[in-house]
Amino acid sequence: MAREKKIEHYDVVIIGAGAAGLTAAIYCARARLSTIVIEKALVGGLATYTNEIWNYPGFPDMPKGEAITDLMKVQAKNMGAKFKLTEVQSVDLTGEEKIVETFRNKYIAKSVILASGGRPRTTGAKNEENYLFDKGISFCATCDAASNTDKVVVVIGSGDAAIEEGMFLTKFAKKVIVSVMHDEGIMDCNEIAKEAALANPKMEFVWNTVVDSFEGEDHLDTVVLRHLKTNELIPVKCDNCFEFIGYIPNTELIKEQVTLNPQGYILTNDRMETNLEGVFAAGDVRDKWLKQVATAVGDGAIAGYAAEKYIAETEVFECNVARKDKNGAVYVYNAVEAQQRELVTIIEALTSRHGENYHFCKVDVYKSDGIAKKLGRTNYPYVAIIKDGKVDHYIDLISEDNIINALKTS
């Protein structure tokens, strides 16, 4: 008989404990939200595979990625965030209650932050699956560089990760042969990395090539490259191969529910809001220009802050705005506008005259426009007439008479 899953309630569930998820956890837990971070592999995420991080502000000594993310983890824990090391297997994010399921648990949350990052793309060449990870094809120089001391390695790709990690490999390997799909001298990495790589005596480049197949008995011993212009097959003897040809977003779990771009990355606005209320995305998993630790941290901060605002606004909305116990009227305005500000007196007058029978409240969108969004209209000012906890209709011609008449014709 299938075991019943243990149910746990949280304000926020964060999927993924990379730089984005850890930062979101710091912000959520600091705002006193009950917060759990679920991670299927390594706390610290992709950054833990990076040997030297040169560009994360505040760390001038080029630390390992995990040195930075370990500190983030400590900070999140100190604030009160909980961690669970397991894989999220399914989610239902469409309702007001968000459901996140692992093998043993069912987490019910008010808000979910998707920070599941991405994973390395593979070449799709013949026999590749026979050699993945410990049989000769690696995606992590930090993890596997030392075991390649005095060996010959092949690197696939010419982006920042390929060239920077390739140069790191030259500290160990006797030769690093880089397969680049472009014409001689053209690479996808930044200019500084390119110049350094071209000047590195341990690095060799095979231009205009892609991988045709991987060969070897039990372990990879040859990468067969194909020249893109001549179709010539070029067997390259090696001890190991490192693939750095980009990433695939980890969005399989949510692809039916959350809007993605054609490449599968989550679409958000600058508040990290997805198409679903209460669901936010941060870091490499979302569609954005620069995927780095610094930007993942920025996203995580915004997502954590946005989740806190969303939860607070939902509570205000349920308790004060869309009340079920009394019909009422909500004045939605922008306090920066003098004319809109003046109309507040109408609501105050109505409260003192009819407050026993109806509830009246005002929402200043300058402070927060989330409640206005929940009321279904974002062009202000207006009065929303609430009946049985729901918006019945809007009034644009705002006067005491119009509001009270609308309520009396319930």
Ligand X SMILES: Cc1cc2nc3c(=O)[nH]c(=O)nc-3n(C[C@H](O)[C@H](O)[C@H](O)COP(=O)(O)OP(=O)(O)OC[C@H]3O[C@@H](n4cnc5c(N)ncnc54)[C@H](O)[C@@H]3O)c2cc1C
Residues in the site for ligand X, rule: CB under 6 A?
15-21, 38-42, 45-47, 49-50, 53-56, 87-88, 115-118, 161, 165, 250, 253, 283-284, 291-294, 296
Q: Which is nearer to ligand X, 81 or 371 (CB)?
A: 81
CA dist 347 → 351, 366, 367 (Å) = 6, 18, 18
CB 96, min distance to ligand X, A: 23
Inter-residue contact 14 to 300 (CB < 8 Å): no
Q: Which is nearer to ligand X, 20 or 109 (CB)?
A: 20
Half-sphere exposure of 181 (CA within 13 A, CB side): 12
CB 196, min distance to ligand X, A: 14
Q: Which is nearer to ligand X, 39 or 144 (CB)?
A: 39
Residue 200, classed as helix, strand or coil, is coil
My answer on whether omega of the bond before 201 falls inside 30° of 0, hence cis, is no
CB 33, min distance to ligand X, A: 19
CB 51, min distance to ligand X, A: 8
CB 162, min distance to ligand X, A: 8
Q: Calculate the CA dihedral of residues 23, 25, 30, 32 and round it to 10 degrees.
A: 160
How far, in Å, CA of 157 to CA of 175, rounded? 16
Inter-residue contact 53 to 59 (CB < 8 Å): yes
Residues 6+ apart with CB under 8 A from 95: none
How far, in Å, CA of 150 to CA of 100, rounded? 47
Q: Which is nearer to ligand X, 165 or 239 (CB)?
A: 165
CB 55, min distance to ligand X, A: 5
Residue 326: count other Cβ atoms within 10 Å of its Cβ: 15
CB 316, min distance to ligand X, A: 31
Q: At which residue do the structure tokens 């011609």 appear? A: 397
Q: Which is nearer to ligand X, 88 or 258 (CB)?
A: 88
Q: Which is nearer to ligand X, 47 or 386 (CB)?
A: 47
Q: E strands within 115-221? A: 118-120, 137-138, 152-156, 175-179, 203-206, 209-215
CB 321, min distance to ligand X, A: 35
CB 229, min distance to ligand X, A: 29
Inter-residue contact 377 to 384 (CB < 8 Å): yes
Q: Which is nearer to ligand X, 64 or 227 (CB)?
A: 64
Inter-residue contact 117 to 283 (CB < 8 Å): yes
Q: Amino acid identity of 314?
A: T
CB 298, min distance to ligand X, A: 11
CA dist 89 → 100, 113, 252 (Å) = 8, 15, 10
CA dist 112 → 12, 300, 305, 345, 352 (Å) = 6, 12, 12, 39, 40
Q: Which is nearer to ligand X, 254 or 330 (CB)?
A: 254
Sheet holding 175-179, edge to edge: 137-138, 240-243, 152-156, 175-179, 203-206
Q: Which is nearer to ligand X, 213 or 257 (CB)?
A: 257
Backbone phi and psi for residue 244, each to the nearest 5 degrees, phi listed first: -130, 75
CB 27, min distance to ligand X, A: 14
